[in-house]
Amino acid sequence: MELIDGNKIAAEVVAELKAEVASFKGRKPCIALVRVGEDPASVSYVKKKEMTAAAIGMESRVILPPESISRVELLALIDQLNNDSGVDGILVQSPMPRQIDELEVFRRIAPDKDVDGLGTMNLGKVAQDDDTGFVSCTPAGVMLLLARSGVDLKGKHVVVIGRSLLVGKPVALLALQKKAGANGTVTICHSGTANLPALTRQADVLIAAIGRPEFITADMIKPGAVVIDVGMNRVADASKKSGYRLTGDVHFPSVSPLCSKITPVPGGVGPMTVAMLMKNTVKAYRAGHPV
């Protein structure tokens, strides 16, 4: 069993971007990071994005509207950033407060600054195999992990568990694409799927993205499968100082011995998400600054 080291591969991406950004003349790429409220996970994610941007030599603008911000005020803030020529990419951290419609926010971000890849135009481009858009960061990270770990999806049965806008749908579309590294045969499973283990046992590559801790167990895995665990769940654990431990959607102790390759949690897909966000922002900068 080979462990797919997301920290190592993400560090390679960051190093590549740092070298690329160092060669740019004039201002550096800039990402606006909008975080509404004080959700602890969001605070930590935005801090990580800020630190990674700094490590690459990019600029980040962290904008912290109050949790009470109205829909109209948040949309006005996005319009302002859309019109700011000094901002290349915009990310509004999810989850957002209840009064905000997340889809409306994602759609309001200008497609050429939608570096999180969740707007209608960029998702549509993924469906059309059009590389000019931005691919949602976690699915893009999954595909790069597979590619750099020597996993070609051509002719493979890829089973995706989860149909979210954030991961399940876009990663299934990417695996299907008619291009190098993809060309997989894709099955999407979800809460309405009957006899789930019978389908997961057919997977050459299993991508788990359902947000249910340690849901995938050894009896659901075909020996020799590649398993990508997108889950990041906090589970109460009195033995830890924090009072919890992080775990994925896969029961790692029982599943890992069966796999040919598997991502750990933490240290698998997570670091890739931030690296791909920076990669998309550099791509957005390049589009506005043709060499």
Annotated catalytic residue, options 93, 156, 169, 229:
93
Look up 204 and say whether it is catalytic. no
Q: Residue 246: which residues within 8 A CB-CB, separation 6 or more?
A: 232, 233, 234, 235, 265, 266
Cis peptide before 266 (omega within 30 of 0): yes
17: left (phi over 0), alpha (psi -120 to 50) or beta: alpha
CB atoms within 10 A of CB 227: 29
Active site annotation includes 93: yes
Token reading at 267: 């240290």
Residue 31, classed as helix, strand or coil, is strand
Please name every residue paired with 233 in a beta bridge, in sequence order, or none if there are none.
Answer: 247
Exposure of 177 in the CB half-sphere (CA atoms within 13 A): 23
| Largest Cα span, the chain | 57
What Rg do the C-alpha atoms of the chain give, in angstroms?
19
Q: Which of 3, 90, 127 is nearest to 277 (CA)?
A: 90
Q: Determine whether 49 is an active site residue.
A: yes
**Alpha-carbon span 274 to 10, nearest angstrom:** 8
Q: Could you report how far apart the first and last alpha carbons of the chain are, in Å?
A: 44
Catalytic entry in 114, 116, 204, 229: 116
Catalytic positions are 49, 93, 116
